[in-house]
Amino acid sequence: MSRTGKKPIAPVSGVTVTIADRTVTAKGPKGEQSLTLMDIVNAKQTDDGIVIEPIDDSKEARAAWGTTRALINNLVVGVKDGFERKLAIQGVGYRAAMQGKDLKLSLGFSHDVVFETPAGITIATPTQTEVVVTGIDKQQVGQVAADIRGWRPPEPYKGKGVRYVGEFIARKEGKKK
């Protein structure tokens, strides 16, 4: 039994959720998002909020139950508040700057990396060593942050590279003489 799937998604003020033809649509102050339900789960609106139920007791339906509930909850939270990922750049000469809508990264390569901002995502650089990725789709925000980090992940000896704010990097000791 899914503990996550059992919890109803409470109604949020300012967000309207509609369920029609196996599609859940959420509209809020930040925008609109929709999710197509799998055939092995059902969603219905009740007085408590949105309730997700598996079609039968199969392993696949039980697995999709909690996942679907979490995805719909992310829709609601995304259109109400949005999501944000912060990245920190560490290293001598490593910096980031916005160039129009594109992110220009200097990460120690012989050239600058120009990262094009996808639709639905906002990238900001409050300082030269900070990058803030925001948007209403949690998956897309996380993927864009991971793509930016992928250009120069933090290395374990000096810790240089692009890291998530709050990420712990296990440091290694250098070689001995």
Q: Which pLDDT value is given to residue 95?
A: 96
- Four-way CATH pick for 83-164: 3.90.930.12, 3.20.20.140, 3.40.50.150, 3.30.1490.20: 3.90.930.12
H-run or E-run covering 66? helix 59-80
pLDDT at 143 over 90: yes
Q: What is the mean pLDDT of the chain?
A: 93
C-alpha 68/C-alpha 137 separation (Å) is 15
pLDDT computed for residue 43 by the predictor: 92
Q: Give per-residue pLDDT as tens, 85-99.
A: 999 999 999 999 999
pLDDT at 4: 83
Provide the b/e sequence for 147-163 (b: ≥16 CB within 10 Å).
Answer: ebbeebebeeeeebbbb
Total number of residues shown for the chain: 177
Same fold, 3-80 and 83-164: yes
Using the predicted structure, report yes or no on whether residue 1 has a pLDDT greater than 70.
no
Mean pLDDT for 131-153 is 97
Q: CA 117, CA 104: separation in Å to the nearest integer?
A: 11
In angstroms, rounded to a whole number, what is the distance separating the alpha carbons of residues 87 and 164? 4
In a 3-state reduction of DSSP, which class is residue 126?
A: coil
Q: Give DSSP secondary structure letters for 77-123.
A: HHHHT-EEEEEEEESTT-EEEEETTEEEEE-SSSS-EEEPPPTTEEE
At the fourth CATH level, the homologous superfamily of domain 3-80 is Ribosomal protein L6 (3.90.930.12)
102-139 pLDDT per residue, tens: 999 999 999 999 999 999 999 999 999 999 999 999 99
Are the beta carbons of 17 and 80 closer than 8 angstroms? no
H or E element in which residue 50 lies? strand 50-54
**List of residues 6+ apart from 111 with CB closer than 8 A:** none
Which whole number is the average pLDDT over 67-83?
95
User: In Å, what is the CA distance from 58 to each residue of 65, 72, 104?
Assistant: 11, 21, 49
Q: How confident is the model at residue 3 (pLDDT cuts 50, 70, 90)?
A: confident
Domain ranges of the chain: 3-80, 83-164
| pLDDT for 175 | 87
pLDDT at 2 over 80: no
Q: Which residue has the higher pLDDT, 11 or 146?
A: 146
pLDDT in tens, 16-50: 999 998 999 999 999 999 999 999 999 999 988 99
User: Which among 81, 70, 174 is positioned nearest to 136, based on CA atoms?
Assistant: 81
